[in-house]
Structures are given as C-alpha cells and as structure tokens.
Structure 1
C-alpha cells in the first residue's frame, strides 16, 4: 500500500487550506513527485481535495488535515519520482525563493484547477506570519515557515494543502494555511523539524 504520512499540526479557527493564486500551469511531467488526493469527509458527507508528494515509492507526505490511503505502490519512471527531503536541520532563510504547486483554486472565488499550477514564493521573516495567529493557535517558527511577500498577490490557497514547498528541488515545507482571502503570507510546516519521525516511520514500514 502507498501510505500517507500525516504531520501532526493544527489549523487555527477560520483558517483556509491551500490553492495557487498568481501562478501558472506547470510543464507536463515537470513535477513527477506530485500527488492529487481526494478525501471523503464522513461527517460533512463532502469530498475535498488536497495535495501531497512522493518521498519514497511507498510513501506520500501530506498535511494532517488531509487524510487518505491509496491501494497501490508507485513505480518509479521518468514521470514518477520521489522528491528529496532536507538533510539535517538546515533552515531556509528569509529572502529565499521557493516554489509551491497544486491543483487548488486560482482565485478566492473559483473552482479547483484541472491542471497543475505552480508559483514562486519568497520566504519571509517569521514576524510576517505571527500576525496570522488566532488564540489558541500561534505561529511556531521552530516547526513552521512563513512564505509569500505581503505586497505581491501570489500564494497557495484552498485545495493545495499538503503539497510541497520546494527550495532548490528539496521539500523544505508542506503547504498548510493562511488568510481566508487568499492573500500572502502563507504558513508551511517545516519538514526538517519532523525528519527523525519521518525517517523512523519509513524505516519501520520498509
């Protein structure tokens, strides 16, 4: 089975999960690690979409509020290839340009995209995302990354949660949440903070 690793973090009340705004369509097969997830919510009896990315032939990494299980193992080909994880506890610094991708909405009021979209976002100082915090939630710089220039309308939004924040072709973050109107900055989970747990989980399933 292709297992989904679910990172344990929580969305603040009223926060919106990810989509791509201000980006463009990705070139075919240029993101061979991307996974499109459709999740059925038993409680609300509704289906919602999320992103994810392959980190090993039998593991997809996604967000905690995205849940699902695929019943087949991925086969590595030119069009299917895992994305690299960061090494050690190296941190991406403010000013670094990274890419997010997904099939979410391309505007605050629109349908999900039927093509993979991507956009380049700049890593911000943590203080830019601290203002997004709403009790009892708070922005935690040890496990989160703030991305997206507040002055430029480019961001992830609904439908892209769980997708990767890619810096130099390495998965440094996982798209999480941000403002309900789709404006930057946005918050991503910091992958390096969870590396020991990720590696331990994959080794146990090997």
Structure 2
C-alpha cells in the first residue's frame, strides 16, 4: 500500500544515476549504508513513486554524511552511515521515524522480516518506480559463512532463504531490515547475481556509535 512505510528514504547523488535506500531515525537524521557515500547527497522522504513529483515528498539536502570511521570498502565491515539533514523533516502520516533496536533485542534464524526499496528486480533490470517490499527469513550464520567471504556474525546478519529467489538487490543498499516494527539491519551486500542469502549490517552492534554521533547534533528548533 502506498506510504505504508513512512520511514523510507531515497538517497540520490548529484551527477549520478545511482541511488540507495535509507530510513529516517530522527527528524534530522537518515540512516543508510557507508558504501552509499557519494557527492552532493540528497534525501527524498514521503515517496512512493520516485518517477513523479508527489505532493507527499520532502526533498532535503544532506548537510553532513557521517560514515562509520572504521568502514572497510573491501570487506564491507562497519557498513553504516548517518546522514545529517540540512533541515528537519516535517513529520506527518507519510513521513515518520522508525525505532532502532535495543541492546537486548535478538534477531534469530527463522524470523521473517521485511525489506523495502526501489532496487533492481534482477540483473540488468531497471528498478521499479514504486516502492516494493519483500518478506525475508533470517538464516543461520553458517549459510553466509559457506557462501560469502567476508561475513562476520558479530556485526552482520545473514538474510534470505537460499532455496528462494527473493532478496534485496542493486539500489536497495542502505534500506532497513524491519523486524517487529524496528529497524534491525541495513542492506549491505550479497551475491553479484542476486542469489540469497545476503548480508545486512547489524544495527544493534553499532548503538553506542549511533547514539554518540547523533548526540553531537542537538535538534534545532522549528525551521
């Protein structure tokens, strides 16, 4: 249903056709993947169809991108980034924040979570104009350890049944893995051909860095 995921953000870059997903975690902060860092970033909130200018959309420039200081572009370790927006989003029924996990939350194999985005639906297939969502099952760590060179279960989650074709893909990077109304993971990387499982950044592991980083920027008054 349109706008049923009001926390979703589209992250775009000046002079580039590439884009990423993201999600609103505070009125002035969007969370995404560190590998989505680019020049002159802009966030669109309240979008459903990204090919038209919907009246619900709020387009906000990114004032300060803050990738994790220990992000590794080879292994995708610490693949998390906060985007400080130039001004606060105006919260309404189409634009809302999503809760982050608590340090005691557990994401276990067999749990079914959702991933949404505007990413490609397959190799050499353009991404959809309208937001799409898929339900994906959390896997045992061994499923990613067998298949993916740099998987580390300390700060990553293995997601997507290898016997099914459903997974996140190009353009979905940075979007949230939502389990029980909380963002538990961030779309990070996977098989180049789009075969599940894929690797998601485990948000819970980074809570101290997230809280410390956002505390540096106090919420301003009304814009």
Which residue of 2 is the match for residue 36 of structure 1? Answer: 10
Provide Cα deviations, 1:13-45, integer angstroms capped at 9, x if missing partner.
xxxxxxxxxxxxxx11100000001124xxxx6
Q: Is the 8 A contact 2:160 2:198 kept in 1?
A: yes
RMSD: 1.3
Which residue of 2 is the match for residue 192 of structure 1? Answer: 204
Q: In 2, distance between residues paired with 1:88 and 1:115?
A: 34
Report how far residue 202 of structure 1 moved.
Answer: 1.0
Structure with the greater relative contact order (CA < 8 A, sep ≥ 6): 1 or 2?
1
Which residue of 1 is the match for residue 145 of structure 2? Answer: 130
- Structure 1 runs (4+) greater than 4 angstroms displaced: none
Matches within 5 A, 1:1-206: 27-40=1-14, 46-67=16-37, 68=41, 69=62, 70-134=85-149, 138-206=150-218
Q: Is the 8 A contact 1:132 1:178 kept in 2?
A: no
Secondary structure in 2 aligned to 1:107?
coil
Secondary structure in 1 aligned to 2:211?
helix
User: Unaligned 5+ residue runs, structure 1?
Assistant: 1-26
Report how far residue 204 of structure 1 moved.
Answer: 1.3
User: Unaligned 5+ residue runs, structure 2?
Assistant: 42-61, 63-84, 219-223
Q: In 1, distance between residues paired with 2:183 and 2:20?
A: 17
Q: In 1, distance between residues paired with 2:147 and 2:99?
A: 29
Number of equivalences: 173
Q: In 1, distance between residues paired with 2:104 and 2:207?
A: 8
Q: In 1, distance between residues paired with 2:130 and 2:194?
A: 19
Q: Is the 8 A contact 1:39 1:50 kept in 2?
A: no
